[in-house]
Chain A
Amino acid sequence: MSPSQTTDRRAAAEGRAAFARPARRRRQAPLVAVAAAFLAPAFISLLVLRIAPAAVALWESLYRQSFLRGGTVFVGVENYADLFGNADFNNALLVTLLFSLVVNPLQIGAAFLLAVLYTRKAAGAKIWRSLVVLPIAVPPAVSAVVWSVIYRPDGLGNSFLSLLGLPAQPFLTSPQQSLASIMVLLSWIGVGYWMLFLIAGINDVPTELYEAASIDGASAWRKLWSVTLPLVRRPLAFVLVADTVSNFLIFAPVQILTKGGPSGSSNLLMYDIYTRAYTLGDLSKAQAEVIILVLLTLVIVAVQFRLLRSSDTA
């Protein structure tokens, strides 16, 4: 502790020596210049590494490789039109929407119920809660790799099914089960994380409200429905949107577990973009697909701001 403090003090003293005097001299130095100096590294990196690639994708999605003339030619929205006429893309879009419609309510419902469970008085609630949160430390690729062994025909998943007296399932190799298997894996990863936000929301609900409801003779379910749920709608709205956006961007489990298959049944948009760009080598259509994905997520976020604003005024 003490050596770091001394270096701190020394650095600070040097800082004062180096900067204080010039600063006094340029007391009138324009604030914009000072701010620009502080902002430049982060601002430039955001412009070049976040906004520029999006702009490039938008630009290139309007062009197409021309073999006749060499180079690229402007084609307007033709790449987009082609995409919407492409069976593989339409399938990916459909799979992604179906996936979102199922996985988001499932995860948020589970996260909410778990948040309610783990805010009740019970033995060891904090310990059990942290076990549910534990998977957020696991990198997505590691989760996918571990679950790839669980889902093997001779893996842990089928051992549990046989313990329950159920027949062995194919999981990842079945077109009917591949997407559901990925949903289970993602819920194992994500539910604990979203639960944290909802627990914070539930802890903010004043206990007097529950006491008042008890005096009015409300049952536990009634209290959950009429007191807890309305009062955590702000964190709920945030979780709904953040979860939806993150689930639009699922890539590692698909790439590691199913490669989008069997027969396109787990081909989520991010993976479709990846194969379009690198396996099919159709970069301009891949860029158009990137733009579609970015717009999709921006629309969801815009809805969030709407939701939060209206719940503020309500």
Chain B
Amino acid sequence: MSAETAQAGITRRRTVAYLGLSVLGACIGLLFLLPLWWAFVNSLRPGGDTFRYLNPLQWETFFTATPTLDNYATLLHSDLGLATLNSIIVSGITVVVGLAICSMAAFALAAIPFRGSGAVFIVVVVSFLIPFDAIAIPLANLFRDWNLQNTYAGLILPGLGNGMAIFLLRTFFLAIPKDLVEAGRLDGLGWWGIFRRIYLPLSVPSLIGAGLTLFLFQWQSYVWPLLNGTDAQHILGPIALSNMQGQFNVDYGVMFAGSMVLTLIPLAIIIAFQRYFIQSVSTTGLK
């Protein structure tokens, strides 16, 4: 009898814990979503209504019965829209060119046994231990001397060689059996052929992971584009958005619409490649 009640007690306690943890987890999750959700809802209503439903809080604070895409339409023809397009161009070129040069470097470090590969690897590691934002100011002075200020090249170049991406790809390449290299050589492949025909096709997941690293580096950057490309033609999304926030008369609706676009693009990419993103996160943690 008493054993049965004890058993029932344990089951009940488990149920209570399950429910409690579910509610707690849900509340915290929703709390984290709140700022973005609020920004999203405000992007769907006129800028004049941003502060209308805040005092006191009501259901209309977080929902709108009359959503409109007007702010997004305005965004299309605004400077912020152009700046977002610039961000897409700069990040896109960075991913394509950066992946090419980083995977080549990683291949040399992982597959070609040459003297000095240890020293080169140390340079790679040191280069990603030096935080880029900290050296952005001296680099911006160099770029001014080299006439690279306010050019696409100036915005893209620092994102191309990424020590972290090289590190990730090298780790993956090291796991590819050397027998395959030998087999490739017997088939008459040169080093380029081995890289192009054997290593790259086998490494699609880690290439996607490294591509995400390169993309997020550019998309999220703020210090560098602020120092190096602020004229109307080359300004990037985050800088244009923060300029807008600093103005005296802000159209909050358009500002939130711009925030949403700048967020949804990387979000869609992260969700599409979620598996690889988590993979690269865990590889970084294991180093």
Contact = CB atoms under 8 A, between A and B. Distances in A.
B29 A32 contact: no
B33 A131 contact: yes
B56 interface: yes
Given A12-B197, A23-B191, A46 B281 contact: no
A143 B111 CA distance: 42
Interface string A195-238: 01100110000000000000000000000000000000001001
A245 B242 CA distance: 24
A251 B242 contact: no
Contacts of A49: 139, 157-158, 161
A147 B35 contact: yes
Contacts of A145: 241-242, 244-245, 255, 259
Given A120-B21, A283-B141, A294 B32 contact: no
A47 to B, nearest CB: 7
B190 A35 contact: no
Contact of B22 (A42, A122, A139): A122
Contacts of A124: 22, 25-26
Interface string A282-302: 010011001001100110010
B186 to A, nearest CB: 11
Interface of A: 11-12, 15-16, 19-24, 31-32, 34-35, 38-39, 41-47, 49-54, 56-57, 60, 114, 117-118, 120-125, 127-132, 134-142, 144-150, 152, 154-156, 158-160, 162-163, 188, 192, 196-197, 200-201, 235, 238-239, 245, 248-249, 251-252, 255-256, 270, 273-274, 277, 283, 286-287, 290, 293-294, 297-298, 301
Nearest to B165: A42
A142 B262 contact: yes
22 contacts: A19-B192, A20-B193, A23-B189, A23-B190, A41-B101, A43-B123, A45-B157, A50-B128, A120-B21, A122-B25, A129-B25, A131-B30, A140-B238, A141-B238, A144-B242, A146-B39, A159-B55, A239-B285, A251-B223, A252-B242, A256-B245, A274-B223
A22 B190 contact: yes
A53, A255, A287: residue with the most chain B Cβ atoms closer than 10 Å: A53
Interface string B257-287: 0010011001100100000001001100101
Contacts, number: 294
A140 B21 contact: no
B127 A140 contact: no
- The B contact surface, by secondary structure, is helix
Interface in B179-233: 188-193, 195-197, 219-220, 222-223, 226
B281 A15 contact: no
Contact of A38 (B158, B191, B223): B191
Given A51-B126, A256-B245, A149 B252 contact: yes
Nearest to B14: A121
Identify the 10 closest CB pairs spanning chains A and B, nearest first.
A23-B190, A128-B29, A45-B161, A141-B238, A42-B105, A38-B108, A131-B29, A123-B22, A137-B267, A122-B21
Nearest to B259: A142
Contacts of A142: 238, 241, 259, 262-263
A163 B57 contact: yes
A270 B29 contact: no
Contacts of A235: 285
